[in-house]
Amino acid sequence: MKIWIDADAAPREVKELVFRASKRLEVEVILVANQSIWLPPNSRLISGVTVRDGANVADQYIAEKSDSGDVAITADIPLAAQLVEKGVFVLDPRGEVYDDRNIGSRLATRDWMDHARGAGMELSGPRPYSQRDRNEFASSLDRVLTRAIKTRDRKSTPQRPSGPDPASSEPGEPFA
């Protein structure tokens, strides 16, 4: 399990919360951006990837390299939709968790707003990042990491077949 951060627009507070969680839980973090990224010194769990300039190149990198069960932080709705489809746990920097129940409507809203802007409608941008947003993100991150770790642990624990254990039967004795 890894945590991916779409780092070009992620607030500093989000990165700091993820870095603390990474240290506490021993989970690898990869920040992906179109520009140089500051990384905490002496952290063996935190790395950065700088991709070439271009629209959505960082998003493409995260979509290609992430795996089911990973966690991703992004405000990019089309990227979130791709990741949810792959089985990645996704949340935005304000603490909204994206999943298969809500990503379709979020994508439709985003597309409508993009179309409205293209048609010349003036729409307000996102509100400034607040302490409430930070608190919501911290709470959501904790819940998502708990779910991701449980999923990872279930995948790594071999499942025993139901019914009697054939290895415990005496030779020649049926175990059915």
Q: Which residue has the tokens 């779910």?
A: 147
Position 147, amino acid: R
Residue-wise pLDDT tens digits, 136-162: 999 999 999 999 999 888 877 766 555
Every domain of the chain and the residues it spans: 2-118+135-156
The DSSP code for 166 is: G
Q: Alpha-carbon distance 90 to 100, whole Å?
A: 10
Return all residues near 134 (Cβ < 8 A) that are at least 6 apart.
11, 13, 14, 17
> Quick one: DSSP state of residue 122?
-
Task: Give me the CATH code for the 2-118+135-156 domain, please.
Answer: 3.40.50
- For residue 115, CA distances in Å to 54, 74, 75, 102 come to 22, 21, 18, 20
- CB contact set of 17 (below 8 Å; sequence gap of 6+): 134, 137, 138, 141
Is 79:63 a contact under the CB 8 Å cutoff? yes
Choice between 23 and 162, residue whose per-residue pLDDT is larger: 23
Rounded to whole angstroms, the Cα distance separating 44 from 77 reads 30
pLDDT per residue over 63-119, tens digit each? 999 999 999 999 998 999 999 999 999 999 999 999 988 776 676 666 656 666 677
Residues of the chain above pLDDT 70, percent: 78
Entry pTM: 0.79
